[in-house]
Structure 1
Amino acid sequence: MTDMVWLNGRLFPADQARIDPTDRGFLLGDGLFETMRLVGGEVPQLERHLARLESSCGVLQLPPPSRETIRKAIHALQTACHITAGSMRLTVTRGCGPRGLLPPNPPAPTVLLTCAPHSGDVTAPLRLGISRFTRDGGAPLSSVKSLDYLPAVLARMEAVAAGFDDALLPGIGDVIAEASAATIVLLLDGELVTPLVEDGALPGISRARLLEAGLCGERTIPLARLDEMEAAWLTTALSVQAVAAIGEHELRLDAAREGALRSFLFG
């Protein structure tokens, strides 16, 4: 069963877990999250996720949970749920606080871990609409996975309402940044490239691994070059999805490159 959660050091049935009504994550979006792949009962890129969480906590001036605490939580929840393949979501908020914006000092963070089984779904190639929402790569919060996901939520909703599957969010200056919840990798000039973090791309785990392995490069990608793009994929910690079109520009499907990306990221 997967209806158990780990909350602040204890396992609970999901319908019995309770977040305090004064929790700042609920009231103000004051927190962070990490979505992690679960394979064979383990999180393959756990140290990368925890390193990014710690870095993001530094941006928010929020004390991170200890790595050992999270390792034990993953083992406890995986064992309780009898799940070996799927995903886990780690959520950390600043915890409870008084009314107003200033948090208590010191804070008492809320830490929640949930899991979901592997769906096994193979989705059709996606069609992306170009969103009116933008990503500001120069903003301090552009590099963290904060709980304030409203721009991405609205971008996805508007894209679907317009007949697309997902949204492509531009960066400042009419450049490509990322999709609503994924890194975009493009085939341009015969090479695989992904947008710069400075242009609004979130520093994703899969993105970093592809760059380190030399399987793609990074550069500023103007929206004006949209018609020159040959193929594209959305990558996350959980999946690789082909893109069939961006706006009205049709892209070709490149099964060989897609297979290479999927094989490298997920074996």
Structure 2
Amino acid sequence: MSATVWLNGRLLGITDAYIAPNDRGFLLSDGLFETIRVANGQTPHLTRHLTRLEEGCAILRLPAPDRMLLTQAVSDLVHATNLSDGSLRLTVTRGTGPRGLVPPAMPNPTVLIQGTASTMTVSAPVRLGLSRYRRDGNSPLARVKSLAFLPSIMSRMEASAAGLDDALLLGTTGAVAEASAANILFLREGRLHTPPIHDGALPGTSRARLLEGGFCTECSLLPEDLKTVTGVWLVNALSLTAVSDIDEHGLSLHEELDRRLREFLFSA
């Protein structure tokens, strides 16, 4: 695929695309992003991502880009880059502004879309540990894909330093919220569950689809209850990854359930 991006209404070579030094996304993480799967040159769940983006913009009091404009921009970029399989990163910031925290009264958002080619593969099972970082499920910001990703970055670094693949972040309720960049699914007594939003889980698009499809229900999971769990998966818009163990607790790999989940999530 070609190194082309869509920036503020224009298709540009990546070396010709510039973000202003006083852009609030760069200076203050004042913005949102979506990661959108591309399969066979199509974006099968684009509507879900645009809806979540608009909801996040409303929470941040950030003018949402026009949906028709974004839909056409996605199509134009996929075509221009010959992107068949991979992902798009859609980033929206509040745009430029004066020094300080107070945003301009009439912001002019920056909108950037970038594509990455990749092939859907089944990742090897991963090892997790509990992180010291927390997510506040009572905060409106826990419900948006904010550019402020430092807790997730630090938790992933913490896990890597401990020889692990990823980390589970707890919510301020004390229950498990999610991994550094994925929702979690856990199997207990033959039933599949995912943490509720109030425990700090991001309202992920794949998570929503699984709930709507009846594959899982919401249920809190305290750290001391991990020993009762027999299977765990990490899930986001791009992948489903089985977990082999969490700290000292080993987990089974449920191949048939894994196949069913993968087929439901990524067959279209």
Q: Same fold (TM over 0.5)?
A: yes
Instruction: Give the deviation of 1:219 after TM superposition.
Output: 1.3
1:153 is the counterpart of 2:147: no
What SS is found at the alignment partner of 1:68?
helix
SS in 2 for 1:134: strand
Equivalent position of 2:62 in the other structure: 62
Q: Which position in structure 2 is the counterpart of 1:248?
A: 248
Structure 1 position 102, deviation (Å): 0.4
TM-score (normalizing by structure 2): 0.98
Match of 1:140 in 2: 140
Match of 1:35 in 2: 35
Contact preservation (8 Å) 2:85, 2:119: no
Question: What's the CA shift string for 1:12-47, capped at 9, x where partnerless?
Answer: 111221000000000000000000001122211111
Which position in structure 1 is the counterpart of 2:98?
98
The DSSP-based 3-state class of the residue aligned with 2:133 is: coil
Alignment check: 8 A CA contact 2:230 2:252 kept:
yes
| 2:219 alignment counterpart | 219
CA distance in 2, matches of 1:84, 1:177: 33
User: 1:171: Cα distance to partner?
Assistant: 1.1
In 2: Cα distance, 1:112 partner to 1:41 partner? 19
Per-residue CA distance 1:96-131 (angstroms, 9 max, x = gap)? 000000011110000000000124443210101100
Gaps of 5+ in 2: none
Q: Deviations over 1:139-186 (max 9, x none)?
A: 110000000000000000110110000010011232110000001000
* Number of the residue aligned with 1:261: 261
Which structure 1 residue ranges, 4+ long, deviate > 6 Å from structure 2? none
What letter corresponds to residue 3 of structure 1 in structure 2? A
User: Distance in 1 between the 2:119 and 2:130 partners?
Assistant: 28
**What's the counterpart of residue 114 of structure 2?**
114
Match of 1:188 in 2: 188
Contact 2:134 2:169 in 1 (8 A): yes
Corresponding pairs, count? 267
Query: Percent of pairs identical after alignment?
Result: 53
Q: Is the 8 A contact 2:127 2:245 kept in 1?
A: yes
Gaps of 5+ in 1: none
